[in-house]
Structures are given as structure tokens and as C-alpha cells.
A and B are shown apart, each in its own frame.
Chain A
């Protein structure tokens, strides 16, 4: 309370020995002042406390007093008969009964560098093993669904297809169109100097269909649908909906995971195809305005020089990317810890993991196709 007096403590020598006279308000609000008052005391070996002038005492104030007395090795009997009102002596009594447990050394544990590295490595290792396990489980359920297609939930599958494929078309189309424009423009700047403008068509053709199309679209989908999978499944788990599904005798793998994985594996190649077309359209536009290559020439050159295998390679990578994005997204959602902060962390982690895995997979594909001479 604002009008309360500043707490004070004075040591007075009397005929019966030293007396610690306390006055003022010993409440949480004035702890700092009380602390400095007590810090100034030169503690004798024994004393008696006179708190009859204390206006108010709460348990924080009582704790401060009791810890100082304890630190100065003053026996607890010093507080007997301190002249406190009934309520306040009960507060003091309660604090004193907890005193040992309260002041027991409870320093926070600090983590060493080595321990930190070890813990992080173990976390990543367990994450990868967990993902692989989940991948295996999903494939097992997929195999079952292929044997008896009745297990496949068509309604959920189509709903997911609408979400991850149809609704993703505008953003995929826009981004790939712009990538095509930028790619053709930069390539055109270089090729023009050597009078080799027409090779822009070859470069853009191979570049987008084989590498950029699949990668860019996969990254968009990882950020869009992968994160959505984690958020959806994670909040269902927090809400115990996934538990309810199992209790009803259904399998969350069948009801939730499989439709999402299948939908994404179908959707990504389709989106990559749309992305390829849009990127080439963008490039065609730049070629027409900047390099004076007419759309007719552009398309004729593309048909002559872009081997179809590049398009197939790009499209073949897409379902694999999709499988990994969906597996990571679903597993992160299904294993989210039951608190609200964990959901945010899991969603972020999904996006990071999916993008990293897409790029690693692409590098692996590059090496593989090199050795296969494709």
C-alpha cells in the first residue's frame, strides 16, 4: 500500500541483551528497503526481535526476516514473543515451517557445450529414426489400402486434393511465372553478348523442367501444405481428437495420414507440370520483348532442343519430394507435445525439415541420374 511506512530495523542494546527493533511495513512492495535495512545490521550472537511497531507483515517480508536470522545463526526462539498481531504471527509461523525447504540450495543446472552437442545430436538422430519408422508404417498402411481399396477414404482424399492441389494452383502459377521471367532475363543478358540469344530457350527449357520447377514448387508446397498438415494434425492431437478416432475403432493412420500423403503425392507432379508451363510462358514473354525471339520461334526451338527426358526426370522427382514433405508434416503433427508452444515449434520445424530434405533429395537424384546417364 502506498501510504505504508518504510520498513526499518535497528539494533538496540538493553539490560536483557540485544533487541532488534523492527518498524514500518514489511510487505512485498517494500522488500528492497527491508533488505537494505537488514543488510546494515551487525549481527550479534544472540538477540530478541521486537516487532511490535511493525504495521504490516506478509509472507515475503517474513521470509526475508527469517532468512537473515538464519544466516546470522540466530536461534528461532528469538522470534518468540516478538509482539506481532495474531494474523501476522501465523504468517511468520507458516514461513518458518517452510524455511528449510525454501532455502535449500536450488541452483539451476547449467548445460555444458559437450552436453549440448550430445543432446542435439541425439535429438536429430531420434527424429530421423522416428521419421523412417513413420515412413515404414505409412507404406505398410498404403500396401493394405492397395490390397483392399475399401480402406481408402475417398471423401477425405478428394477433400485433401482440393486443399493441396486445386487451391495451391494460383500461388504456384504466380511464383513459377516470375521465376521464368527472371531466369530468362538473366540468361538473356549473358547470351546476348555472344549473339547466342536463341540458347536462352535451351537453357530455360532444361533448367526449369529438370531442376527449378520441381524444387521451387516443392518448396512452396512444403511451406503451404506441409505446415498445414502439422498444424491440423497437431491441434487435433491437442484436442484429443486423434485419441477419439482410435477409440472409435478407426486408425488415425488410415483416416488422417494416408489421405494426406496420397493427395500430396498426386498433387505435386500436377503442380510441377503447371509450374513448368508457367515458367516457360514467363520466359517466352521475356524472350519476345527483350531478345526479339517470337513465341513461334521460341516454341519451335523448344520442341527441337528440349529432350522430353528432362521433363520426365523433373516430374519423376515430384512424388518423392511429396512423400517426404507429407511424412514429415504428418509425423510432426502426430507427435506434437501437449502444449500450445510445441505446436508452433513443430510447424516451423516441419517447414525447415521439408525444405532441407527436398534439397538433399534433389542432390541425391542429381548424382543418381548422372550415374544412370539420364
Chain B
């Protein structure tokens, strides 16, 4: 479990075992204030927002100067990022293969904190970085060169109906590892998982071409979805622009299974929250099944609940469009992305701050030999950004901000999608769903 990773005592690393700290519950007044703000913002938006769709990913934004764009997209930056990704990956693989399997090994921190939380949040700031550094893409590119084929060309085109479903499955596998699998911070388990991950995705990309990664690699899809919230983005024609982040999210490519990806991300984070509550710990320990079975059921249950609730709300909202509910759901699923990111920030902020710093310290001694290769080995963990009052404030702000952005996005898409007569009333099911997500999230932060 994630909690196994957190070392609390500032400036001091544990010599053995693992430390653990969870956030304090947010104060009740914070939870109530956040919920009230979300509620008011939702209905204000319904009444006050624009009546014609405004978010146009094809035209919005201010293009970067041509020279800057050329550097960004040029071979030096692109090649440099690929090399950086490969070097960092090789370094971590070295720690995972040759390092000592103890709490000071950086691998688990790199995987569960820097890669899983850090990369998506970095993507929120600067855009979808993972696809530019992804070691899977680099390896596949190398393989293609060796075989004399173009990376984009597989043996068959990716069937359109597949959409984001492979990414949803790939993310589900990872969150299961993160939240349920026994011994999931030990090296043999991590090595096995990532060896399998590598094999599956390289095979799939060899068959379907490198387009696979944008639909199948969970890490890349998560980073790309988060990156849609970045002010740095691209128009539909590829022009690099600075823009309103809402336009970026509105431009999320619609494909089947997007709502499943969002459901896995939101449901699994909610499960992790719930798993910290004493009653769930009790259920895991003394329920009728083993902890792994109960944990799997709990995780799948919450993912299914979140996803089914979205599908139902989207179907209700989409009545009168004469289209199948899943299709309508796909067109609205992007509006949940800010809610997911807001909740991920809320839930993982202190983990990112504390274990993130600790991992940077541990990376300096990847093999457990007492080395200090990066010069970060002597650093302590500065807990000031994880101060309980600050954390509670960040949590509520993130959740409410995500909610408000989600409401605006849903509104803009709904007025484009729905017949004019139903444009406002048709949004109500989706709004109610978002309020449920947000109040549910705040409740978990308060009570679990």
C-alpha cells in the first residue's frame, strides 16, 4: 500500500523497515464549505454561462513565435528528451535489478510517486511529457529501426472500436498493483510487473504500430489527459499555442473507452482513500475473504460504481440526441478529467511532497552501497509543504477547482451536443453526478 512508503520524520531517513503517515482528515468546516461552493458554482454556471459553444480547440490560443516552436519540435529537444528518458529509466532499472531490496531502494518511490503522481502533475504544468520521454516508445523506435520498418506502421491498423479500452485495462492493472497486490514495494514484484508491462506493450505496438501507445499505455494516456490542462498546448493542426486550459481539455480526442479510463483513475483514487479508513482495514483483516480478494473486490467495485454512475448520467443527459448512450458518454467524458486531477492532487499531495523528496535522496544511492552519486544523498525531507493546515487547504481547493472546471467543460459540450430546447435541463444529470463525485471526494477526505 502507498502508506508503506511514507517516511515522516523530517531530515532523517529510516535505517530499516518502512515508515508511514497518512494525512489528517480535513476539518469538517473545510468539507462543508467546499461542498457548498461546488453546489453553488454548479447552478450558477447553469444559469449564467454562455449559450453558444465557445471552446474551440481548432482556433483558440496564442501561437508561440515560430522560432520557439521550431526549437521545441526540433531534433535537438526531441532527441534530448528521448535520451533523458532512456538514461533515467536505465538508472532506475539498475537500482531495481542490482540494488538492495530494502526500504532505502528508490525503485518503489520512483514508480508509485514520481512516475505515477509526479509525471501527470508535471504534465498539467507543461503538457503531455510522457510521450516524449517514454522508454516504451524509444525501445519500440529502436526495434523498428532494427527491423527496417517505420514505427508508425504495424502489421495492422488499430481498430477504431478499441479506443482507450486498452489504456483503461493497463491502468487497472497498475492500480491493482499499487493498491492491492501484496509485497508491492519489493523489487521482485516490481520487476515482474514491469517486465510483463514492457512485453505486452512492445508486442502490441509491433502489431499495431506506435499509435498503440496513445491508446494503450496507461502512463502515457494519464499524462496526456493531465497535459490537456496545461496552458501550453496544440491546436488541432499541431500549432503550439498558449491557451486557456479549458480549450485543451475540450480538445481531448473522443474515442470509445475514455469514460472507462476516467472511471479507473477516479475510482482507484477513491478506493485508496477508503482503504485508509479503520473500518475498511478491519474488513480486509477479518472479512470472509483474504485481504487480496477483499481489496480486489473493493477496488473493482469503486471503479465500476464511478464508471456506471457516469454512464447513467451521460445517458440521461444525452436523451433527445438520438444517439447511443455510450457514444454520448464519450463526448462528455473529458469534463471529468479536471475532477480526476483535482482529486489526485488532493489525495496524493503530501505523498508527492514527502516521498518525492525522499526518493530523490534515495536515488543518490541506487545500489545501497552508501554512495552519493547525485549529491542529493545528504538532503533531508522538508515537510513544510506538507503542513497539515496547508494540506487541508490544498485538498479542498484542488477538489473544488476541478469541479468548477468540469462543470464549465460539460456545459460547453452539452450546448453543442444537445438540442437547444434541452440544452440547460439536459445538463442536470451530469451536474448532479459531478456534485456526487465532489461531495463523495470531500467526504472521503473528511472521514477516511
On whether the two chains bind one another, the answer is: no
